[in-house]
Chains A and B, each alone.
Chain A
């Protein structure tokens, strides 16, 4: 662009309107999605020892006992949980819940401030610092209905380990 006594020359590049609309829509979508927050995993993380492995462990203890050596009696591993499909394993979910509870107990302001940026995972209401465009306030959570053919049920948080 040049100006002055010789006049002014302007060069303008325009993007199509549909792309502009799509960009705005994507920004609005991003705002909505940003309210989701962290989605934890409540399934198994580590496969449990199976009976054959436990038999081997017991065999080692019996060998030690047969020769009068200490056996390390007692089970160190916690009890495994049986999940859908007969999978037995350990889940980090209870520990995650426990850590979250502890954070809320010992550093409540910090925990609540973090939570304020996202929707309430139970009620669906938006946090006070949630994205303004997201319109998460209008989100109406639906009751959960288990339709899994495997019969998996969501974890009952009230019964998971806390402490």
Chain B
């Protein structure tokens, strides 16, 4: 089988050596400072605690035995990543490193996948090395390999499927079809984006198989796909996962329609032009084109959040070849391999678009690697120029310099921004509970300030899951709110906290994690000692938080 997976012409020692080196570099960049950067978000804490709960009890935090979909906040997360994390926790210790380790591995193996994919597209060793280097240092590849967000693993299995299908097209080896389709169907259980990606990609496979007159395999494939997808369909139609789609419904669009109808007194013409179907189609088309627009592709954006580090997807030095890649792909579209690649490029933005967002790297992460394929196709247009060693090495150096800017950005300015603005309070609370759980009897904080971060505190003190399942009181409609439990007392307003303190002040081990505004209010009514002060390093909003211990006033 070996010859099928690596083109024998390309398997020179240099190529393999480069691949090994790049995989090592890729692993190092993806795992460096992984425990502290980026800050852990609420979803990751939920995955961590559910995984811990599975290792301890075989049940999730809601007491359901080995579920396929985890209720979590009421959003019913797909289970794959949680089970992989549980496996890590079973083998090693439950902490942030092992939570993110599977993503690092998937992200690193992605380099290998792209190497194999490129080996099928070009026979030029130099271009394969460039492509593999681009994947190793890919801004989005690195970014999403460093969080336990499930999208990288979903994307990994989708690309595995595409790669295997391309191998099938080249070798006509029918045993590869179940591997390809199996891998694709597995992604259904990893991340909701696959609900859109899988049927469309599968339709592409079926189209090609039918063209090759593979009728029996096609029928078997459709039946198998339906059977495997049935639990997922059931989950989304009746099992509660629909909440994800309701959550992302476009409220802004409704407001716009109302505004425009108001302009024209809601007359007949406005009913034709201003309605959900017209607007939805308009936004779908606009957001689809936006995914290939310069702004997400090559501009450094000011906006950063947990799904976006602000750095462009494509390195500026490779951008002209990215555009050229489309032309090369378009010219060879009749070739089934290129047809599958084109389908991959067209399908990957759809989950993010259908979810109503303009551009969301996490939801459309299936694109990861397609940009590199396009760049390599574009570069192959100048095949002869890159045969010259000087040009080749100069271009490699340019890529490394351009990528280094990203690595610097990611580990320096972005790190500072992320530490200061993304889940700063949640991560501080996590650290406080982790370091002091045995030292206090009660910790108080407001939900106004911190939301309801039960998962960070549960994971910080590795709260026994059996006990949590028993004592937990929740209200779900459909997002779940957990009532205060054990040592964790959280209320909407600081006034409620003050009432609680006045009733329980005899207990001399009450600590609080409060903002400076809340401290100002509490100052007049309670006595306390400040234990520590926290503030973001880049403190634009002049935020300050205090860890205090309540005392009886003399």
Indicate whether A and B interact.
no
